[in-house]
Each structure stands twice: as structure tokens, then as C-alpha cells.
Amino acid sequence: MASLPNIRRTTKRTASALAAPERERPDVQRLEAHGLTWLNIAEPTAAETAWLAEHHQFHALDLEDVLSRRRQRSKIDEYDDYVFLVLHFPRFDKGTGRLQAAELNVFIGPGLLITIPKEPLKPISALWSRCEARADAQFDFMSKGPGFLLYEIVDQIFDYCFPILDKIGFKLDVLEDAIFEGHHRELVRDISNVKQEIINYRKVIKPQRPTLRMLERAVQRYAPEDLEIYFDDIVDKNERIWDSLENYKEVAEALEATNESVITHRLNDMLAVLTILSALILPMTVITGFYGMNIDGLPFARNGVVSFIALMALLGVIAVGVLWYFRRRKWL
């Protein structure tokens, strides 16, 4: 019975090196406008979690999820005075060169919105900078309550997802054009990488599809009455991304099958050429083998020049005959 591979355990030093550095003082960004307080805590540590526990009556399990280094599942936890959300969005990690899931934790309550991205999310940083620098942006995004601000944040993050999706589509187009250009062996790894990106993207989008459908109902008490159509738009964007990923998955599988067919076809062509050469050489080898044994009595064995000319002529006739036979059987 085959033994299972050993799991490499990380040492305490390695685990601590991978964890985010602990801060002595909590790093909490605060923005207040139009009766709404927006707090943003990027890459939280124990200091920020302790600050949240001290200043807000959040459930201990929610704070545990915020601090956890393991990725939480997409979910919505509703309480009497607040709602806790866990959402995931695709993010390209330059360190690993792969698509990863970025987790966003959100607390929403009366006049309060707390966004806690565990990995950097450019749309949140960009929206924060706009609201911090411009009064008109504060009015546009923060004057309609925390539910509308949450919608704007999630909507802009989804808008940021489409360029990543377009890059995958562009890669598939390039691979499709390159298959018949003679680089089929190098494309095996490229197709595998694109398939891995599609799989990672699907792993981010699929689990939170039911969560997004419940999002509007969960935050409706903190949002204007006409916000339902806006959250439906978010669900629609998520479904468009999922449909595109389904299409890309089929395209990648078709490209992989096509590339394998091209490799097999070219390998068959090589085998056909080798087979023809073998068929040509085999009768020639038999004839020259007899003359190589120095047996007396063979025709022209004693006359070197005549023997060589006659032998070459015979070998030429045999080669022409074999090629004619192959052509007649339509093997060539």
C-alpha cells in the first residue's frame, strides 16, 4: 500500500514571519460626514481587534473571524444592532504570480460602516482618498447612509474585477492564435497557468453567490428604500463574471484538447516518415547483408565496379517500387 506524503510543518519562526507584524497602537482610519462614520482598518492585527472590542459591542466570534489568518467563508451574520459580512474578491498577487482571494470583513450598523480588508484592495483605497479629499464625494457616497456606502464599495470592487477577467480572455485569444504557429509544446504550461487562474477565480466567485443575493435584505434597515435595484445590479455583475468564467473554462479545455491533438498529429507525421524510411531501408539492408558475408557464387561478386553499379541500380529500383506501392495504397 502506498504511503501518504509527509506534510511539511512550518516552524514557529516561519509562521511568525508570514504573519502581519503586530502594531503597538491600533491603525484605524476614520472619516465622518453627513451623520455617517466610516472606519477603515487595513490588514488588522490584535491591536485593531482589541480596539474594536473596546469601542463597539461586537460578538467575540466576529472579532475572532477578523483576526483569523485562515480565510473565512462568505457569510452574513445578522444581529439586533449590526450586521457582519465576509466577502471575497479576486486579487493578483505579484509575489506568487497567481490570482488569490482577498477577504473583506464589514461591520454595518446605524450611522456606522467599518471596512476591514485583510489584503490591500485598490478600490477601497481610491474611494477613501476621494471622500477624504473632496466634500462633493462625501455627499455623493456618505449622505445616504451606510447601506448605500457599502453598495458603492462593493460595486467599485466588482468593477475592478472585470479588467482581471478581460486579461484572462486576452490570454486565451493569444493561446488560440499560437497553437498553430509551431509552439505547441511551450503552450502546455501556458494553458495550465490560464486554467489555474480560472479555477482560482471560480473559487472566489462561486461561494459568495448566495451571500450577495441575501445582501440587500440584510442591510435594508441601514439603506434607503430604493436601494434594492442597486444590489440587484451587484448580483447581476457577479453572475456576468460567473458566466464568463464558465465560458473561459470551456474555451481553456477546448484549447488544451486542440493543442494535444496538434501534438499527436505532428507526432503521427513523424512516425509516418520514420516508417517509410524503415520500409525503404529494410530490403536494402537484406541485399547488402548478403554481399557483406563474402559468399562465393553471388552475381557480380568478383567484379567490384560492375557489382557496385548493379547493386546501386537494384537498390534504386527497390526504393522506387516501395514508394510506388505506398502511393498506390494512399499511404503517402
What's the pLDDT at 3? 44
CA angle 233/238/239 to nearest 5° reads 95
Task: Grade residue 104 by pLDDT with cuts at 50, 70 and 90.
Answer: very high
Rounded average pLDDT over 26-39: 90
| Residues in Cβ contact with 92 at an 8 Å cutoff, skipping those fewer than 6 apart | 98, 99, 100, 164
Average pLDDT, the chain: 82
CA dihedral 72, 74, 78, 79 (to 10 degrees): 10
Rounded average pLDDT over 138-161: 90
Task: Grade residue 293 by pLDDT with cuts at 50, 70 and 90.
Answer: low
Which tops the pLDDT comparison, 16 or 220?
Answer: 220
What's the pLDDT at 128? 92
In order, the DSSP letters of 131-164 are HHH-HHHHHHHHTT-HHHHHHHHHHHHHHHHHHH
Fold of 24-263: Beta Polymerase; domain 2 (3.30.460)
Cβ-contact 66, 42 below 8 angstroms: no
Element (H, E) at 88: strand 83-93
What's the pLDDT at 289? 73
In the sheet with 29-33, reading across from the earlier edge strand, the strands are 29-33, 36-40, 112-117, 98-109, 83-93, 75-78
pTM score: 0.74
Which of 199-203, 235-239, 298-302, 325-329 comes out lowest in average pLDDT?
Answer: 298-302
Q: Where exactly are the structural domains of the chain?
A: 24-263, 270-328
Task: Grade residue 22 by pLDDT with cuts at 50, 70 and 90.
Answer: low
Rounded average pLDDT over 22-35: 83
Rounded average pLDDT over 196-225: 84
| Residues in Cβ contact with 169 at an 8 Å cutoff, skipping those fewer than 6 apart | 244, 248
